[in-house]
């Protein structure tokens, strides 16, 4: 059982000023699914002082390696891509209709400012929406939907739009940026799951700064294309062929309005990392995470994930004949919006839990149920 807050030691910060500056830059840099490469370069540049080697696969998954010659391989992983939109149709009068790239929420789109990514550079646009005065008092209002949300980039013809470099297939991201709220929460778009990429990079930093020598090869993996079906993790798992994988992603803070705890569970920001129970989660590895949290006074929460976790955990677990895998989740408010929120202490505690768990994995660690 997770310890009550009163029983725990005073929180010790892990994220420092330099790493926070990187986190802000990393979040503010767009990284839409299929177009993650600029963010991956930023991430690897930050990671390189703490690793021995690195590589990027054909689709952009970035990997930092510690002890690359070791036979036994442990992965810590997050995904780099953010939800976005594609230009799908340009009208004769210069308006743009879109389709999803990942799980983009049509209900938050109206009145949002966006960047359309073109070979000529960024083109600014807005999701337009009819004024309240024009929507007909007493009539049933039409809700935002994929069929009626549209972009306006200030053009009056299709030719004018195309002259800016905009064409069908251009990717679109929101322009909202990182901020700290009440000195307690990190807020921004794409904390799902570049917060994870940040946290695993911080684990590498701690290992280097604390001069910890691991008895295995550690692969710090920032996968692409999770938001459209765990595709980057699927590819990189077959390339690395790990013996163990610890995945980190976000999960829902269910303490805010309009969320049913009976179906979604009871989880909240500020109460610690979340360990998951699901068929893909290997029980003995999960026990190691929980025992590590308890031994190091790291608060944690529990989540039941039913048939699948819906994260890259599933891709690693079911690869290469079965890889012992577990999931450490970061509680997050307002997922797939531009104001995703995570608690500063949870970020520190996820980093600490992964770090200390790695120190508890032995050379050639056997996680089989029947030995």
**Rounded Cα distance, 52 and 64, in Å:** 8
For the segment 89-101, the average pLDDT, to the nearest whole number, is: 98
pLDDT digits (tens, 9 = 90+) for 292-308: 999 999 999 999 998 99
pLDDT digits (tens, 9 = 90+) for 300-334: 999 999 899 999 999 999 999 999 999 999 999 99
Q: Which two tokens stand for residue 20?
A: 């926070």
- Please state whether the peptide bond connecting residue 208 to the residue before it is cis, i.e. omega within 30 degrees of 0: no
**Neighbouring C-alpha atoms within 13 Å toward the C-beta of 190:** 30
This prediction has a pTM of: 0.95
Q: Which two tokens stand for residue 205?
A: 């930093």
- pLDDT-derived band at 5, boundaries 50, 70, 90: very low
User: Would you state the pLDDT for residue 212?
Assistant: 98
For the segment 162-167, the average pLDDT, to the nearest whole number, is: 98
For the segment 148-160, the average pLDDT, to the nearest whole number, is: 98
Backbone angles phi, psi at 104, to 5 degrees: -65, 140
User: Would you state the pLDDT for residue 163?
Assistant: 98
pLDDT exceeds 60 at position 8: no
pLDDT exceeds 80 at position 4: no
pLDDT exceeds 60 at position 349: yes
The share of the chain scoring above pLDDT 70, in percent, equals: 97
pLDDT digits (tens, 9 = 90+) for 197-252: 999 999 999 999 999 999 999 999 999 999 999 999 999 999 999 999 999 999 99
**Rounded Cα distance, 108 and 111, in Å:** 8
User: Would you state the pLDDT for residue 136?
Assistant: 74
The share of the chain scoring above pLDDT 90, in percent, equals: 93
pLDDT exceeds 90 at position 360: yes
List the end-to-end C-alpha distance of the chain, in Å, as a whole number. Answer: 27
pLDDT exceeds 70 at position 3: no
């Amino acid at each position: 059982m997770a310890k009550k807050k009163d029983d725990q030691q005073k929180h010790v910060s892990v994220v420092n000023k330099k790493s926070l500056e990187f986190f802000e830059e990393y979040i503010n840099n767009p990284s839409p699914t299929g177009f993650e490469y600029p963010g991956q370069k930023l991430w690897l540049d930050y990671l390189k002082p703490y690793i021995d080697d690195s590589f990027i696969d054909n689709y952009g998954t970035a990997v930092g390696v510690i002890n690359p010659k070791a036979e036994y391989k442990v992965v810590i992983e997050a995904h780099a891509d953010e939800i976005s939109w594609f230009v799908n149709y340009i009208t004769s009068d210069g308006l743009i209709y879109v389709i999803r790239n990942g799980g983009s929420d049509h209900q938050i789109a109206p009145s949002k400012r966006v960047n359309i990514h073109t070979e000529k550079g960024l083109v600014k646009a807005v999701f337009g929406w009819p004024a309240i005065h024009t929507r007909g008092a007493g009539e049933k209002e039409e809700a935002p939907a994929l069929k009626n949300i549209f972009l306006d980039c200030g053009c009056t013809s299709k030719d004018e739009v195309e002259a800016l470099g905009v064409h069908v297939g251009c990717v679109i991201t929101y322009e909202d940026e990182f901020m700290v709220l009440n000195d307690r929460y990190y807020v921004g778009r794409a904390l799902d799951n570049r917060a994870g990429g940040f946290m695993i990079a911080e684990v590498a930093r701690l290992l280097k700064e604390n001069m910890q020598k691991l008895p295995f090869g550690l692969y710090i993996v920032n996968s692409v294309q999770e938001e459209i079906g765990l595709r980057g993790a699927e590819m990189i798992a077959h390339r690395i062929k790990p013996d163990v994988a610890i995945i980190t992603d976000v999960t829902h803070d269910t303490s805010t309005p309009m969320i049913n705890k009976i179906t979604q569970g009871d989880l909240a920001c500020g109460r610690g990392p979340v360990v998951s129970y699901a068929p893909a989660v290997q029980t003995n590895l999960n026990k190691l995470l929980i025992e590590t949290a308890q031994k190091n006074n790291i608060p944690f929460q529990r989540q039941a994930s039913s048939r699948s976790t819906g994260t890259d955990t599933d891709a690693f677990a079911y690869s290469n004949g079965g890889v012992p895998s577990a999931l450490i989740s970061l509680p997050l408010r307002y997922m797939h919006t531009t104001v995703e929120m995570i608690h500063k202490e949870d970020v520190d505690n996820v980093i600490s839990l992964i770090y200390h768990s790695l120190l508890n994995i032995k050379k050639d660690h056997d996680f089989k149920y029947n030995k």
